Each structure stands twice: as structure tokens, then as C-alpha cells.
Amino acid sequence: MLANDPPAKGPGASCSSDAECAPRACVDTSVGKICEQSCDPAAMPSTCPDGTQCTDVEGSNICATPPSKSGGGCDVAGHSPVGGAALLFACAMLLLLRRRA
């Protein structure tokens, strides 16, 4: 990574290539491609970086950003395809977390 390169994306962030996630891998999931960092849900303290939690995604435990708990559902506002994709990812993660509980 060069000094002018943007920092790598964190665990659970959407991505399109491994280079965006380095040293993590960019993997395909049912909610799109995300930066993967494996974790152990039973580990105390957590093996995930601050701001993320160990989440089961398609049978693999990975560190992911938890969805916001401020709202009761998902709402799509505006017409930005990037914002819509991020919102769709957040909604999918919320559904996965609820299904796990």
C-alpha cells in the first residue's frame, strides 16, 4: 500500500476486490461482497475491531458493523444507487442478526 492510497475498508464493509480490504479478503455473500475477518463468537474479549461484532453470515462467523437500532425498519430515501446499496446491506445485516437471536 502506498502513502497516497486510501485506507483499507473495515470488516463487514462492502467491497469489489481484495485490494479494498487488505489484508482481509473481499468475499461474496447473499448480501453482496463484503470485507471478511473471521472471528470467534465465544471469545472474551471480542476478537473483532471496535465498532464491529462477531456475526454469523451464511454459516461463517465474521466481524461486521452492527445495524443501527434507532429505527424499526428499513426505508429507502433519495435516488443515489450507492446510498441505496448501503441501506440494502444494512437491512440485510439487521435481518441476519434478528434471525440469529
Mean pLDDT of 74-93: 59
**C-alpha span between 25 and 71 (Å, rounded):** 31
Cβ burial of 55 (10 Å; 0-12, 13-18, 19+) is buried
Banded pLDDT at 80 (limits 50, 70, 90): very low
Mean pLDDT of 4-24: 82
Q: pTM here?
A: 0.47
